[in-house]
Amino acid sequence: MLRAMGRLPLASLLLALALAGCATQSIALETGTRSFTADDYERVYDAWTRDQTDFAWTRMNDVLLVTATYEAWEFRWAYVVRYARDHSLEDDARTAMLRATLDDARRNHRFFVTLSGPVFREQNLASERSAWRVLLVDEDGRQTTPAEIQRVRRPTAAEQVYFPTVGPHRQAFRIVFPVRREDGSETIPADSSWVVLRFAGARGQLDLKWVFGEEGEADEPTVARRAD
């Protein structure tokens, strides 16, 4: 394959590499028992994390840099297994932690987000002066606003280790959406093919997309607008 790529023009080669990078591990919304070891965490983290480099052709890199982890049922299970191993939790404590986070997953969709941009105060998603409106968008185009946006002012050691984009040059946030809207409809229906976390504002729009399907299925390129 690499030999064949060597015969491609540079632009075609870059596009091929970009599309190859979009291939993701299989992810699914189904609940139920998972069988993970602590060493599985990095793989599961990668499967449920999206960032702007997935869509580098959007020309948003000089406006907003974002990484978001969807803390879905599967991610939460792997996180607890890793956390329990690292912190030497007893079985009862691990079980209680797992039960609590899975119970929360039935009520809330949570995202851990880190971001940076050229104007620091505009990137504070928890502020009314933020340049960005955050939305969860389903495949029917229905938009849901967050129930809560919490700025992580002093990331813990666990957050710095388990979410490796946490650092001095990025702000970190926990963003919560309800599982059901006020009309009772699901914000992410169980049979969804995909969901988008959207950052929209006068400076442009950036969509981070999670596709639910077969292993190796590529995310469709997401077109974002940039203010001139």
- What is the CATH classification number for the domain harbouring 200? 2.60.40
Pair of tokens at residue 81: 């297994």
Residue 20 domain-assigned?
Answer: yes
Residue 120 domain-assigned?
Answer: yes
Residue 67 domain-assigned?
Answer: yes
pLDDT of residue 120: 85
- Residues 188-200: pLDDT tens digits? 998 999 999 999 9
Q: The whole model's pTM is what?
A: 0.82
Alpha-carbon torsion, ordered 20, 209, 213, 188, to 10 deg = 180
- Residues 171-190: pLDDT tens digits? 999 999 999 999 999 999 98
Residue 98 domain-assigned?
Answer: no
Residue 31 domain-assigned?
Answer: no
Residue 183 domain-assigned?
Answer: yes
- Residues 106-157: pLDDT tens digits? 999 999 999 998 888 889 999 999 999 999 999 999 999 999 999 999 999 9
pLDDT of residue 10 exceeding 60: no
Pair of tokens at residue 179: 């599982």
Residue 134 domain-assigned?
Answer: yes
pLDDT of residue 64 exceeding 90: no
Domain that holds residue 113: 2-26+49-71+105-211
Residue 218 domain-assigned?
Answer: no
Query: Cα–Cα distance between 160 and 113 in angstroms, integer?
Result: 12
> Into how many domains does the chain fold?
1
